[in-house]
Structure 1
Amino acid sequence: MGKRKSTRAKSAPKKKVEKLDTLFCCPFCNHAGSVECTIDLKNCIAEAACFVCKESYSTKAHALTEPIDVYGEWIDECEKANEGVEQPPRDSYYDDDGEYA
Structure 2
Amino acid sequence: MGKRKKSSRKPAAAAARRKQPLDTTFTCLFCHHDNSVTVRIDRKEGIAQLACRICDQRYQSKVNHLTEPIDIYSEWIDAADAAQKEQETARRTVASSSRRVPAPPSIGSDDE
Instruction: Provide the aligned length of Structure 1 versus Structure 2.
Output: 83
SS across alignment from 2:51 = strand
Q: Which protein has the larger Cα radius of gyration, Structure 1 or Structure 2?
A: 2
Rounded Cα–Cα distance in structure 2 between residues aligned with 1:6 and 1:54: 63
Higher helix share: 2
Query: Residue 96 of structure 2 aligns with which residue?
Result: none
**Identity across aligned pairs (percent)?**
39
Query: Residue 12 of structure 1 aligns with which residue?
Result: 11
Query: Residue 37 of structure 1 aligns with which residue?
Result: 39
Structure 2: unaligned runs, 5 residues or longer: 90-112
Rounded Cα–Cα distance in structure 2 between residues aligned with 1:55 and 1:7: 60
Query: Residue 67 of structure 1 aligns with which residue?
Result: 69
Rounded Cα–Cα distance in structure 1 between residues aligned with 2:56 and 2:4: 62
Q: Could you list the per-position Cα deviations for residues 12-68 of structure 1 after superposition, in whole angstroms to 9, with x for gaps in the alignment? A: 352321100000000110001000000001110001100000011000011111000
Question: Which of structures 1 and 2 has the larger relative contact order (alpha carbons within 8 angstroms, sep 6+)?
Answer: 1
- Point out 4+ residue stretches in structure 1 off by more than 4 angstroms: 6-11
Structure 1: unaligned runs, 5 residues or longer: 87-101
Query: Residue 24 of structure 1 aligns with which residue?
Result: 26
State the one-letter code of the partner of 1:20: L
TM-score of the superposition, structure 2-length normalised?
0.65
- Of residues 56, 75, 83, the one that matches 1:81 is 83
TM-score of the superposition, structure 1-length normalised?
0.72
